[in-house]
Structure 1
Amino acid sequence: MENVITTQTRVIGALVLRETRTAFGDTQLGYLWAIVNPALSTLVLVLIFSSIGRSPAFGTSFALFFASGILPFQTYSKLSSSLMTAVSSSKGLLSYPLVKETDILVSKYILITLTYLMIIIVFFTMIIWGDGSPLPVRPEQCAAAFIFLTLLGFGAGTTNTVLFRLWPTWKQLESIISRPLFFLSGIFYVPSDFPTQIVRLLAWNPVLHGIEWFREGYYGNYDSIVLDKSYLLTCIVILLLVGLFGERLYRKKSI
């Protein structure tokens, strides 16, 4: 058992290195640009909204409030969409006996998670240093929210992988279906600003719970009326079971 775990760990490590070179090139500058580019894109959005006089829905810094929503959301969104085609774009690797579909998915998950962790660290450092914003009050809660959102993205991504392999049109449909999440995940607002009926509808979105959790960790006085950690965990477990079980069934049918 120990030898199997060691072997699979080495396989996943090799796949992460391969994926890093494929995505960012062999130079450190390529990976650095992969971190800086989304951070700069987010900064542009912050400047645009700030320049039109938009005040934050909570706190005094729009940059901080916006970043605490958009960056966790982008982490989930990137995992959900990128994992969808991870296996189909790496079919050549499956010719190696030690490489399985789940290894490809896990390696992609690790790379994207580490990349967006660095993006969050870089961007919040920029805000704290340049905007005079405070440090997170409960960083361990921010970290927990980030991890849960990555697992939610992994679950959604593995489910998307199965659906895409069974039905290639799913890639286009998924992009249409998931587009409203940008406006339904509390990036620009706090749920307490809306009537109870709307809050109940918004509460069905698990990504919103992850973002609310992140904000509760960052702000000392942020008290979410929506956050339900058990609901978020339930969504993660369901998506992981559907995705991993579906992948296993598809693999058996392909043999």
Structure 2
Amino acid sequence: MRQNLKRPNNTRSMFNALLDTRNVVTAVILRDIRSRFFNHGLGFIIVPLWPFVHMGVIIIIHSFAHGQPPYGESSAIFYMTGVIPFLAFSYTSRFMGYSLHSNKNMLAFPIVRVFDVVLGRAVLEMLSAFATLGLIVITILLLGENPFPTNIEVAVSAYLATLFLAFGCGFFVAVISLLAPIALTIYQLIIIVLYISSGIFFVPSNLPDALSYFLWFNPVLECIEWLRMGYYESYSDKLVSPTYVISFAALASFLALFIEYVFRRQVSEGP
């Protein structure tokens, strides 16, 4: 007698898993929007203003202090191409690093995974990064400058690669910080070092080869140089390796997933 055995519907199971992930990510985003400023959803409007003001101060100081930019004719464009990728990286990765600590209570629910919480924060920070980019472009236009790249494909690729790098580093720091909270402090110090050494205020390819060789290992510097290639036709690609940037971001993401898998219980419970 033949028995009718029901096979598991893998498609349905995958759909349910994706639906659960979407619901958790949405919940994390809404929770972060309300809790970030003034315990009100409208407080999120302020988030893109921080990096926007940050960049404005840098451009004003260096434009008046130095006059002629290190490269090109416009100080606003040169410093914009340095500040935009750096702030996109630093703000996104840094706040992702805090995501598991600020949403630690949500990990008590079985349906909530570490990756879902980090992904929710990543989506929120990347939306903020794009909003900041829009504000900067509008402001540069109002100043009478042309904020658009000569090679839009190169510029867009560089910016998206920067966000991918921020995701990988932020995910890694978030997972490590639950095992060793001091990682957050160490990462803050790393951000400061990157701020000085990533070529925001100078042209790295003009430095001696012995020094530029060591700077090449800084993926944030490569993102900045990559973006500037989209704005200046004759800009040197000496320190630009898209493969290195993408590989660095992918490796950081893989290590974060691996650590979360191996130490899943410790990560969920925290220190």
Query: How does 1:1-255 map onto structure 2 within 5 Å?
Result: 1-24=14-37, 25-28=39-42, 30-253=43-266
Work out the CA distance in 1 between the residues paired with 2:147 and 2:48.
22
Work out the CA distance in 2 between the residues paired with 1:9 and 1:27.
20
Of stretches 102-111 and 173-182 in structure 1, the one that deviates more from structure 2 is 173-182
Structure exhibiting the larger radius of gyration computed from Cα positions: 2
Work out the CA distance in 2 between the residues paired with 1:43 and 1:88.
31
Unmatched runs of 5 consecutive residues or more in structure 2: 1-13
Q: Deviations over 1:51-70 (max 9, x none)?
A: 11342122111111111111
1:191, 1:225 within 8 Å by CA — same for their partners in 2? no
Q: Which has the higher contact order (CA 8 A, sep 6+)?
A: 1
Work out the CA distance in 1 between the residues paired with 2:49 and 2:190.
28
Cα distance, 1:134 vs structure 2: 4.7
2:68, 2:75 within 8 Å by CA — same for their partners in 1? yes
Of stretches 144-153 and 171-180 in structure 1, the one that deviates more from structure 2 is 171-180
1:83, 1:158 within 8 Å by CA — same for their partners in 2? yes
Structure 1 runs of 4+ with >4 Å offset: none
Work out the CA distance in 2 between the residues paired with 1:226 and 1:139.
20
Unmatched runs of 5 consecutive residues or more in structure 1: none
1:159, 1:242 within 8 Å by CA — same for their partners in 2? yes
Assess, with a 3 A threshold, how the Cα gap between structure 1 residues 243 and 54 changes in structure 2: closer, same or farther. farther
Total equivalences in the alignment:
254
Cα distance, 1:27 vs structure 2: 4.8
1:61, 1:133 within 8 Å by CA — same for their partners in 2? no
SS in 2 for 1:87: helix
Cα distance, 1:206 vs structure 2: 0.7
Work out the CA distance in 1 between the residues paired with 2:44 and 2:232.
31
Q: TM-score, normalised by structure 2?
A: 0.86
- The amino acid across from 2:40 in the alignment is D
